[in-house]
Amino acid sequence: MEFHFLNTDFPHFTTMDWSRLSQIHNILSKFNELTLFVSEKKPQISLAVPIYYELHDLLDEASKRKERFLDLDENISLAVKEGMKKYKKYYTFMDASDTYYTALILDPRVKGDLLLDKLEDEATRREILKALRDNIHRDYSVTTMESSLLSK
């Protein structure tokens, strides 16, 4: 069947349709931007945490219709709330692993500053950084590495 025989009489988009499409574009364009960022640059595990934090802020604001999303269509906001459930599932996997946070504090460009900026409680910030650093020293100390090599 050739294309010109197909029915091409589609209804025209209303102003409301265009508004909703624009709102959806505003949300999804951040996902595209971050996907291109990690695919065009050299992928680095230390970027995982900042990207997850940035996506959380976006999804949280959109689902609660806050800040730049005050006029977000309610149905789009509800869809974002559902997307937030999926986000939390994957964030939980990342958050359960010290690897991402260790890479973050070992990255000389960051050194834990992101955690210090994102967490509100000063004591909690310092405690988390100390725990991560203690884990690094425990898991990668000379004696741990030597005993690991000897057991092979």
Q: How far apart are CA 133 and CA 127, in angstroms?
A: 10
Give per-residue pLDDT as tens, 47-72. 888 888 899 999 999 999 999 999 99
Please tell me the predicted confidence (pLDDT) of residue 141.
75
Give per-residue pLDDT as tens, 75-120. 999 999 999 999 998 888 888 888 888 887 788 777 777 777 777 7
Amino acid at site 134:
D
Domain residue spans in the chain? 38-150
SS3 content of the chain, % helix, strand, coil (to 5): 75, 0, 25
Task: Please say whether the dihedral angle defined by the alpha carbons of residues 122, 125, 131 and 132, taken in this order, is positive or negative.
Answer: negative
Q: Count Cβ atoms below 10 Å from residue 107 Cβ, excluding itself.
A: 18
Q: How far apart are CA 130 and CA 101, in angstroms?
A: 12
Please tell me the predicted confidence (pLDDT) of residue 16.
94
Distances 104 to 3, 51, 133 between C-alpha atoms, Å: 52, 12, 11
Q: Which range scores top for mean pLDDT: 2-6, 30-34, 133-137? A: 30-34
